[in-house]
Amino acid sequence: MTPTRYKIAHVTTYEYTEPVTLCQNVAHLSARFCDHQQSRSPVLSISPEPAVIEERADYFGNPIHYFTIQEAHRKLTVRADHNITVTPIVPTEPLSTPPWESVRDRLQHDRTPAWLDAGQYAFDSRYVAAHPRYAEFASPSFTAGKPVLAAALDLVHRIYTGFVFDPQATTLATPVVEVFEKRRGVCQDFAHLLLACLRSQGLAAKYVSGYLCTVPPPGKPRLVGADATHAWVSLFCGDAGWIELDPTNDQIPGDRHVLLAWGRDYDDVSPLKGVILGGGQHRVHVAVDVVTE
């Protein structure tokens, strides 16, 4: 299969009404290395220049940068420039995966390394908690003996057809229950909802952050900076391994999805977060540009 090479620019700008005298930040802006994806550490451009910057791996094995800015500033700009190669993944036949109940039950007692590691993604996290309402919503997809991937894909399709993509409907702080009730949201919301449904069935699933190469409508120019960070889910399918699911686009991610990091939910892998002294009120602007080489 032919690999696709991407050049990605991700620019985040914070503007403050009052000076910030000190800020400490953690950035998930390095693409994770995996079997189908290779990348170099991104070129980070940070203004004002950090007094301290350090690269390491977080608990989940994602590459991250810590940096501290000690000079007063009213504007912070963080730019990450990536060169990433993605190879298409050979798709898994959904009906070849094990029954979903067998995966659920084995997660509870198997202590071999792969299953033990997967088990941590079956528990509640800050933004995603299991609840009978989500189990009830998912149950029509998870009928007795149904292969786990086939059941999950049916649930993904139901979220795609039953919910409306609406950037004005939610914020980063919107809880899953509100998304579930309003039937509206964005990729982060649909990923959290899918996680809630899968975990309510006793399954293990990760939140995945990354980029999506979008294609403009026929005859329309591609808009620089029109892309944004994207979110999807990776489901543990037992001996079939981890398989990614994109409820926003009703598909299994392919070579147009570029993976940055994974964790239990958005809080584990947000692209940029930190603490500041001062600043007053602030505005944030994010622009992502994804092009093929």
**pLDDT (0 to 100) of residue 227:** 74
Token digits of residue 210: 């990354």
Predicted confidence band at 28 (pLDDT cuts at 50, 70, 90)?
Answer: very high
Taking 60 as the threshold, does the pLDDT of residue 202 lie above it? Answer: yes
Structure tokens at 26: 């953690």
pLDDT of residue 223: 62
Mean of all residue pLDDT scores within the chain: 94
- Residue 248, pLDDT score: 94
Task: State the average pLDDT over residues 200-214.
Answer: 95
Q: Report the share of the chain in percent with pLDDT over 70.
A: 98
* Least confident window among 28-37, 211-220, 239-248: 211-220
Give the residue-averaged pLDDT of 158-165.
96
Residue 30 has a pLDDT of 94
For 93-106, the pLDDT digits (tens) are 999 999 999 999 99
CA 125/CA 213 separation, integer angstroms = 29
- The answer on pLDDT for 225 being more than 60 is no
pLDDT, position 224: 61
- Reported as a single tens digit per residue, the pLDDT across 48-66 is 999 999 999 999 999 999 9
Tell whether the model's pLDDT for residue 221 goes beyond 80: no
Contact between residue 26 and residue 273 where contact means Cβ atoms under 8 Å apart: yes
Higher pLDDT, 39 or 163: 163
d(CA 289, CA 45): 16
pLDDT tens digit sequence for 72-89: 999 999 999 999 999 988
Which segments of the chain does DSSP mark as H helices, in order? 100-107, 113-119, 132-138, 148-162, 176-182, 187-200, 266-269
pLDDT value at residue 189: 96
pLDDT of residue 41: 81
Q: How confident is the model at residue 173 (pLDDT cuts 50, 70, 90)?
A: confident
Indicate if the pLDDT at residue 245 is higher than 80.
yes
Average pLDDT over residues 211-224: 75
Residue 216's pLDDT is what?
72
Torsional class of 238: left (φ above 0), alpha (ψ -120 to 50), beta (otherwise): left
| Phi/psi of residue 201, nearest 5 degrees | -95, 5
Instruction: Report the Cα 205 to chain-centroid distance in Å.
Output: 12
Residue 260 has a CB neighbour count (10 Å cut-off) of: 28
- pLDDT 10s digits, 248-292: 999 999 888 999 999 999 999 999 999 999 999 999 999 999 988
Chain-centroid distance of CA 181 in Å reads 22
pLDDT of residue 6: 93
| First-to-last C-alpha distance (Å) of the chain | 17
